[in-house]
């Protein structure tokens, strides 16, 4: 229940991402291992369609490598700030539902958030389809105790509402500002 344990989990997850980006061998190993785990789970669920985990890991590695080479530090800083902002939003949503600092500390919330983001790097379904919510609720309930389950569930769903619906109007406003004097969406001539 220590915040240090959760911080350690977050650091291990970060180290894993860095290792994937820096080493083709580690990316191959993680892809093979992830593929075996996902295939086993899907087999237990009697699913025939199994996502290509190895391809997803390598695509993630390649895309991240391009971004790092082109915009390295700026991209890293922006990504870190955006994730910190979402951790703050998650914390506020949980506090609004009455979960005190003594039950779920900021370090624990941050560590669970980092762990969920690492687990959901490989998309198993569009938009996560409830997987991130299930992971958040399970992890937070494990830390806080089952008596906080309803408040945690409400807080996570409030956070997800913010996560999905706050950026959309902001994007439309920014799009309108950037495309001043032009139609909101580019036409075929622009593309």
pLDDT digits (tens, 9 = 90+) for 10-27: 778 778 777 777 788 888
pTM > 0.95? no
* Residues 6+ away with beta carbon under 8 Å from 66: none
Please tell me what DSSP assigns to residue 128: G
pLDDT in tens, 54-75: 888 888 888 877 766 677 677 7
Structure token digits, residue 183: 């139609």
Cα Rg for the chain, rounded, in angstroms? 19
Residue 46 in tokens: 């009697």
Is the separation of the CB atoms in 163 and 89 below 8 Å? yes
**Euclidean distance between the first and the last CA atom of the chain, given in angstroms as a whole number:** 53
Tens digit of each residue's pLDDT (9 = 90 or more) over 140-178: 999 999 999 999 999 999 998 888 888 888 888 888 888
């Amino acid at each position: 229940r220590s915040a240090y344990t959760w911080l350690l989990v977050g650091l291990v997850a970060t180290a894993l991402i860095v290792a994937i980006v820096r080493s083709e061998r580690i990316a191959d190993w993680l892809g093979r291992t992830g593929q075996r785990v996902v295939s086993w789970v899907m087999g237990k669920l009697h699913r025939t369609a199994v996502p290509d985990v190895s391809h997803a890991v390598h695509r993630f590695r390649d895309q991240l490598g391009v971004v790092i080479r082109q915009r390295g530090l700026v991209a890293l800083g922006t990504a870190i700030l955006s994730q910190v902002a979402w951790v703050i939003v998650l914390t506020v949503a949980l506090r609004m539902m009455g979960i005190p600092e003594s039950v779920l500390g900021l370090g624990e919330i941050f560590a669970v958030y980092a762990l969920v983001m690492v687990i959901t790097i490989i998309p198993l379904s569009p938009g996560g389809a409830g997987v991130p919510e299930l992971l958040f609720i399970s992890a937070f309930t494990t830390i806080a105790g089952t008596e906080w389950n309803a408040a945690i569930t409400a807080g996570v769903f409030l956070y997800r509402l913010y996560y999905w619906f706050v950026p959309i109007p902001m994007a439309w406003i920014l799009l309108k500002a950037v495309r001043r004097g032009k139609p909101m969406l580019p036409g075929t001539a622009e593309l």
